[in-house]
Copies of this chain bind each other. A is one copy, B any other.
Amino acid sequence: MSCAYEAALLKAWEGQNDSAHDIAHIRRVWDNCKALSDASTDTEVLYAACIFHDLVNLPKDAPNRAEASRLSAVAAAPLLAKLGLPDAKLPAVQHAIEAHSYSAGIPPETPEARILQDADRLDALGAIGIARMFAICGALGRQLYDPEDPLAERRPLDDTLYAIDHFETKLFRLPETMNTAKGIALAQERCAYMRAFRDALLAS
């Protein structure tokens, strides 16, 4: 794949500082994309969509966060033209970018959009998902957990207050949202890892 794509992303991201959405995230998602691809995948579409899926990167607590993937798809168009992506492939790339987002709620309609969505969700799970979740919690000044009721047995879940509530509000539900058989299997494995981590954390 081409360094020109990464360079274009990094230029667009200049001045940003997000521990959970950085070039390392993009590269992990691309590794996941490759693991979920097969011979029928349009690699050019998938790669372009993967590189630019977080081009417009709004904070987790921004009110218009559900718009980020649509804004990314729009902002990617001129960059992709410059990078030489054939015009005919632009709609497929833009669809995969738009549909990758959990909060946008757009169903993925192509194999590449389904793969990118799974690949991005996998990066929220397992050990890397744990690291990213707590980095976001620290950046937003949230508590790690509720010391009075860490598992929310006597209160509603609230991941805007407590980081580990996010396991139940979102992360443990991701396996059932996955599109590909490989994605489902990996997501389940990574959720099991996170459950064991949560047990260890609360036993500390």
Contact = CB atoms under 8 A, between A and B. Distances in A.
A133 to B, nearest CB: 8
Which interface residue of A18, A22, A136, A204 has the most chain B CB atoms within 10 A? A204
A141 B201 contact: no
Interface in A1-39: 17-20, 22-24, 27-28
Interface in A130-149: 130-145, 147
Contacts of A200: 126-127, 193
Contact of A147 (B18, B20, B24): B24
A23 B23 CA distance: 35
A123 interface: yes
A23 B147 contact: yes
Given A22-B143, A147-B27, A163-B19, A197 B135 contact: no
Nearest to A18: B141
A152 interface: no
Q: How large is the interface on A (under 10, 10 to 19, 20 to 34, 35 or more residues)?
A: 35 or more
A14 B200 CA distance: 30
Nearest to A139: B138
B19 A143 contact: yes
A157 interface: no
A201 B138 contact: no
A138 B136 CA distance: 6
A128 interface: yes
Interface of A: 17-20, 22-24, 27-28, 123, 126-145, 147, 163, 193, 197, 200-201, 203-204
9 A-B pairs with least C-beta separation: A135-B138, A138-B138, A128-B204, A134-B134, A127-B200, A138-B139, A24-B147, A127-B201, A17-B141
22 contacts: A18-B141, A19-B134, A19-B144, A22-B144, A22-B147, A24-B144, A24-B147, A127-B200, A128-B144, A129-B204, A130-B130, A131-B144, A131-B201, A132-B144, A133-B134, A135-B138, A135-B163, A136-B138, A137-B138, A138-B138, A138-B139, A139-B139
